């Protein structure tokens, strides 16, 4: 496990930009959530650069049912194969039938009037829409193993979102993912052995705040140190199953 060094200067700037993002977003109250898109259908209207970017974002998020509809398609969209279906159509002649079964609709054509019409029809049908006037925004995402952090300014400043993403990626490294893996292992055995939830939380926090664990060379060494926190409270109770 990498040496755990808290860079206070870096954290300070990250905090400042989170505050800035919150200020920019102050007029829009939305709940950041993680959604399982595996069996959900996403329909993207528009076969250009924006439609391609949106499709890739949903693919990265685990979506396996993406329909892209447009009169013309970019080469990049044509190269998308797995979990992506394309339908060629002049959308000015109708699109309502394409909304059937959609969980999320993305109006991404180069015709703003058409985009507005798609959004309005989707809203009438109770479908989430990713649109400048819609009810869903795609966030920048920092992924590090089991750690996922979503960043958004509500569409006000993509530059701030990108800046935060770069800073967080540099800050996280892989030490937090390793700690998350360790916490998962310890938590599972504690849930089987210790009924009191508060006691379990105390042990997990002790482990989280142990500098020796953060400084340990690997997960095996970290587990040995973590066991000591458990045995300090419960003696010889069978915690050797933590592996």
pLDDT exceeds cutoff 60 at 21: no
Domain shared by 125 and 62, yes or no? yes
Domain count, the chain: 3
Please, is 20 exposed, middle or buried when counting C-beta atoms within 10 Å of its C-beta (0-12, 13-18, 19+)? middle
Answer whether residue 151 is part of any domain.
Answer: yes
Residue 122 exposure: Cα atoms within 13 Å on the Cβ side: 29
What does 40-58 look like in DSSP terms, one character per residue?
-EEEEE--SHHHHHHHHHH
Domain shared by 191 and 160, yes or no? no
The per-residue pLDDT for 112 is: 94
Domain shared by 118 and 60, yes or no? yes
Answer whether residue 198 is part of any domain.
Answer: yes
Answer whether residue 63 is part of any domain.
Answer: yes
The per-residue pLDDT for 160 is: 87
Answer whether residue 241 is part of any domain.
Answer: no
- CA–CA separation, 24 and 182 (whole Å): 37
Domain shared by 124 and 149, yes or no? no
Domain shared by 195 and 230, yes or no? yes
Domain shared by 124 and 51, yes or no? yes
- CA–CA separation, 152 and 154 (whole Å): 5
DSSP state of 69: E
What is the domain range of residue 20?
8-29+144-172
Domain shared by 94 and 24, yes or no? no
Answer whether residue 36 is part of any domain.
Answer: no
Domain shared by 218 and 205, yes or no? yes
Per-residue confidence band for 39, with pLDDT thresholds at 50, 70 and 90 = very high
Domain shared by 80 and 98, yes or no? yes
The per-residue pLDDT for 236 is: 61
The per-residue pLDDT for 218 is: 85
Domain shared by 63 and 123, yes or no? yes
Span 158-186, average pLDDT: 85
Answer whether residue 124 is part of any domain.
Answer: yes
CB 32 within 8 A of CB 152: yes
Which pair of tokens denotes residue 239?
A: 């915690």
Domain shared by 48 and 103, yes or no? yes
Domain shared by 150 and 202, yes or no? no
Which pair of tokens denotes residue 101?
A: 């079964």
- CA–CA separation, 172 and 169 (whole Å): 5
Nearest CA to 31 out of 160, 157, 127, 154 is that of 154
For the stretch 73-89, pLDDT in tens is 999 998 987 899 999 99
Task: Say which CATH number the domain at 67 has.
Answer: 3.40.50.720
- CA–CA separation, 176 and 75 (whole Å): 38
Per-residue confidence band for 20, with pLDDT thresholds at 50, 70 and 90 = very low
């Amino acid at each position: 496990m990498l040496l755990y060094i808290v860079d206070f200067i870096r954290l300070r700037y990250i905090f400042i930009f989170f505050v800035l993002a919150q200020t920019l977003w102050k007029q829009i109250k939305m709940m950041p959530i993680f959604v399982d898109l595996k069996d959900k259908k996403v329909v993207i209207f528009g076969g250009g650069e924006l439609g391609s970017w949106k499709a890739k974002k949903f693919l990265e998020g685990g979506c396996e049912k993406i329909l892209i509809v447009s009169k013309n398609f970019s080469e990049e969209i044509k190269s998308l194969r797995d979990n992506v279906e394309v339908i060629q159509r002049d959308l000015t002649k109708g699109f309502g039938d394409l909304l059937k079964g959609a969980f999320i609709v993305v109006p991404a054509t180069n015709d703003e009037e058409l985009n507005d019409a798609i959004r309005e029809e989707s809203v009438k049908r109770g479908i989430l829409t990713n649109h400048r006037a819609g009810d869903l925004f795609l966030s920048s995402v920092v992924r590090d193993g089991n750690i996922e952090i979503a960043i958004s300014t509500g569409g006000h400043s993509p530059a701030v979102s990108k800046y935060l993403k770069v800073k967080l990626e540099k800050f996280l490294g892989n030490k937090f993912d390793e700690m998350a893996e360790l916490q998962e292992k310890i938590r599972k055995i504690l849930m089987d052995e210790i009924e009191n939830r508060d006691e379990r939380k105390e042990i997990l926090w002790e482990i989280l705040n142990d500098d020796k664990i953060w400084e340990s060379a690997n997960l095996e060494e970290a587990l040995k140190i973590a066991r000591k926190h458990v045995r300090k409270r419960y003696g010889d109770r069978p915690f050797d199953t933590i592996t």
